[in-house]
Structure 1
Amino acid sequence: MTAHTYTYQRRYCGPLEAVIFDWAGTIVDFGSFAPTQVLVDAFAEIGLPVSLAEARVPMGMAKWDHIQTLGQLPDVARRWQAKFGAPMTDADVDQIYEIFMPLQIARVGAYSQPIAGALDTLATLRAQGLKIGSCTGYPRAVMNALLPLAAELGIAPDCVIAADDLAAGARPGPWMALANVIELGIKHVAACVKVDDTAVGIAEGLNAGMWTVGLAVSGNEVGLSQSEWLALSISEQQQRRQRAAEKLAQAGAHYVIDTVAELPAVIAAINQRLARGESPA
């Protein structure tokens, strides 16, 4: 019996069907302060100061993993060893997580105003027939506190997947993004766009086979409030924008824009690429 090898490429050439958003730094919380500032405060409660810049390094990860990775940063690990006489253990991570969770639940709403242009962008995408998905590094308990507050402000995605919802895990794996595909009833991952402000969130979208859009200015990489951003000189803004955009581009983002307000033009460009037979791979 002779075996034959056949090569057949099945490309999706239809329009986009869904956009899957991150939360903090993407559609709410300009500068992504809720997850980072609260982590700084949680570490302070055990007597180990960490800076906001250090807390931002693992952003986008599930929060238990975020705490563990933060504790493994060389400078933080040295300070931990000097104070406690041993490296951070999983039990230490559990202790900080138990401090972090009630603080995060209590304070997430205070930081989570919609980013300028987010509501208009969501309305534009819905008017085009796109479904709105979302996933986050926040655990479900935090999202349960945030979702009703966000809904009152006009943000109510069709799907919300939290970092601890899935047994498979969270970012940079594709599972939360793919859970959106299932819940939203999307037939082709190439019909989806993942929008995120972190490198690990871009990796999530790429691993799921989706188009990816990085947000340079509104999120973790610049890490400033909108008022702080606007107070910078044009040259300072450009330097910070470029550093953030380069990191997201190096992570593999197909597009990098300042904020979600610019997303509709990118959606149009991706639809044109799909019509030409291009794919996100």
Structure 2
Amino acid sequence: MNGKVQAVIFDWAGTTVDYGCFAPVQVFVEVFSIRGIDITIEEARKPMGLLKIDHIRELLKMTRISNLWVTAFGKEPNEKDVNALYRDFEDLLFKVLQNYAKPVPGLIELVSSIRQQGIKIGSTTGYTREMIDVVAGEAKKWGYQPDSIVASSEVPTGRPAPWMCFQTAINLQVYPLSKIVKVGDTISDIKEGIHAGMWTVGVLKGGSEIGLSEQEINEMDPYELKKRMKNAENRFLNAGADFVIDEIGDLLEIIGRINYRLTEKKDAFISG
């Protein structure tokens, strides 16, 4: 079997489309605001990458948000509240999703180069199938169309469980899983890849861990940007990421490094 990378599995929002991962974040803030509870952008981003209803559950577990809820409603948030918040989230998200499907800079060129190496392109997402169908339909107009899309709603549980990655490997008919690279912009992406036994790569610019638009990155003080990127890089590495890249186009070099390590292991095995 080919001793090189056989497939790459990308996340969607914040990794391949929706630079800065703004669509879900702004909607999470809005559905709480409707109920008189102001959550911060930082709080909204913290569980990013999870199935969206799980994301809401995690937000309600946060001490500050839970306390605000008790103050506003006189009781702890429960599953009925989760479902009500999620219904509003879905309604609002579907109204804006198609505006957040533009591929991030460098993606189309990267995918073309990867495919020239015979590498297949998979994708997993915290969106449901209905949500990702909207995003994927728009992204296709821009020239991005992965070989496989697996949504959180199509497996027993979403991230950080590995099931979406496993289903993608089946769809692409690629094994062993050590020949697959999982790429994402959140800690849950990294954990998903680790649990699936794949190489993991965290992306900084355009991603949720940095949480900045292209314009904000271009206008930010270079020292401040470098500090934010270093902090995010450390969070990825502490979560177990094999590599962290500044932007998506840097993945090509990483694939080359992984190929070298895979070949090195194969040679060591043969000589041993």
TM-score range, shorter chain: over 0.9
- Correspondent of 1:134 among 105, 113, 123: 123
Asked if structure 2 preserves the Cα contact closer than 8 Å seen for 1:44 and 1:50, the reply is yes
Q: Amino acid of the residue matched to residue 44 of structure 2?
A: A
Give the Cα separation in 2 of the matches to 1:258 and 1:60: 19
Gaps of 5+ in 2: 267-272
Asked whether 1:115 is paired with 2:104, we answer: yes
Residue 231 of structure 2: aligned partner: 243
Residue 256 of structure 1: aligned partner: 244
Gaps of 5+ in 1: 1-11
Deviations along 1:11-44, one digit per CA (max 9) or x if unpaired, are x871110000000110111111011111111112
| The 10-residue stretch of structure 1 (101-110 or 119-128) with the greater mean CA deviation from structure 2 | 101-110
Over the matched positions of the two proteins, sequence identity in percent amounts to: 38
Q: Which has the higher helix share?
A: 2
Asked whether 1:67 is paired with 2:47, we answer: no
Residue 258 of structure 2: aligned partner: 270
Asked whether 1:181 is paired with 2:165, we answer: no
Give the Cα separation in 2 of the matches to 1:74 and 1:246: 25
Give the Cα separation in 2 of the matches to 1:243 and 1:187: 34
Q: How many residues are aligned here?
A: 266
Residue 214 of structure 2: aligned partner: 226
Asked if structure 2 preserves the Cα contact closer than 8 Å seen for 1:217 and 1:244, the reply is no
Give the Cα separation in 2 of the matches to 1:56 and 1:234: 23
Deviations along 1:228-264, one digit per CA (max 9) or x if unpaired, are 0111111011101001100011111100011111110
Report the Cα offset of residue 121 of structure 1.
Answer: 0.6
Report the Cα offset of residue 210 of structure 1.
Answer: 0.2
Give secondary structure in 1 for the equivalent of 2:3.
Answer: coil
Give secondary structure in 1 for the equivalent of 2:148.
Answer: coil
Asked if structure 2 preserves the Cα contact closer than 8 Å seen for 1:216 and 1:248, the reply is no
- Correspondent of 2:85 among 92, 96, 111: 96
Residue 83 of structure 1: aligned partner: 72
Give the Cα separation in 2 of the matches to 1:197 and 1:185: 25
Give the Cα separation in 2 of the matches to 1:178 and 1:37: 30
RMSD over aligned Cα atoms:
1.1
| The 10-residue stretch of structure 1 (157-166 or 107-116) with the greater mean CA deviation from structure 2 | 107-116
Q: Amino acid of the residue matched to residue 169 of structure 1?
A: T
The list of structure 1 runs, each at least 4 consecutive aligned residues, that deviate by more than 3 angstroms after superposition, is: none
Report the Cα offset of residue 113 of structure 1.
Answer: 1.6
